[in-house]
A = this chain, B = another copy of it.
Amino acid sequence: MIKLTAFKSVPPFAQGLVRDLRVRWALEEVGIPYEEELLGQGDGDAPAYRAIEDDGFTLFESGAIVLRIAEQSEALMPRDEAGRSKTVQWMFAALNSVEPAIQNLFAVDVFYVEEAWAKARRPGAEAFVKLKLAPLTKRLQTREYLEDRFTAGDLMMVTVLRNLRHTDLVSGDPALSAYVARCEARPAFQRALKAQLAAFEREAVAA
């Protein structure tokens, strides 16, 4: 049985955004059951919240875990060489090109919102996010998914774009907001989100 490690609780701004959501979603799409181990923020090593145990070894990094799951089922990745490479391409695009820009804006807006430098930095940080979103918007104006069908690349991109929910950069963009809504409407996403939030709710009741 796969064991997913996640946080017992996180601040409200992070609920529904923690990276184990990606892994839960992938497991739900593929139909692999899992058990969860919930850790306090101070428990264990830093990457523990992204760890998964499977076949006797532990893996961290949500990208690597989702790719491993995707390789086990056509539900998340086509079997042909080109379809497979394109899925991996969009996963890296989400995590290495789009997410750093969005994390940067998120930090300015959430973690450092009271700092004078963050106010001065914000226009540049927002402009950089827009630069990264522009080709996605263009592409998604004429397609439902990044390629011809839903893949792990969309799964990753949507979890990245969700980190802009405190802005209108996605909600104010018809192509991007329709894309995110389309992917979030998937039953597997709904189950994954519910599972992440349920853990936080149990902890809040227990506290």
Contacts and interface: CB of A to CB of B under 8 A. Distances in A.
Interface of A: 45-47, 55, 57, 59-64, 67-68, 81-82, 85-86, 88-89, 91-93, 95-97, 99-100, 103-104, 112, 115-118, 120-121, 124, 135
Contacts of A82: 55, 57
A107 to B, nearest CB: 9
A64 to B, nearest CB: 4
Nearest to A95: B96
Given A68-B85, A88-B67, A121-B117, A96 B99 contact: yes
26 contacts: A46-B135, A55-B81, A57-B82, A57-B86, A59-B86, A59-B89, A60-B89, A60-B93, A61-B89, A61-B93, A61-B97, A62-B96, A63-B88, A63-B92, A63-B95, A63-B96, A64-B85, A64-B88, A64-B93, A67-B92, A95-B95, A99-B100, A100-B103, A115-B120, A116-B117, A117-B118
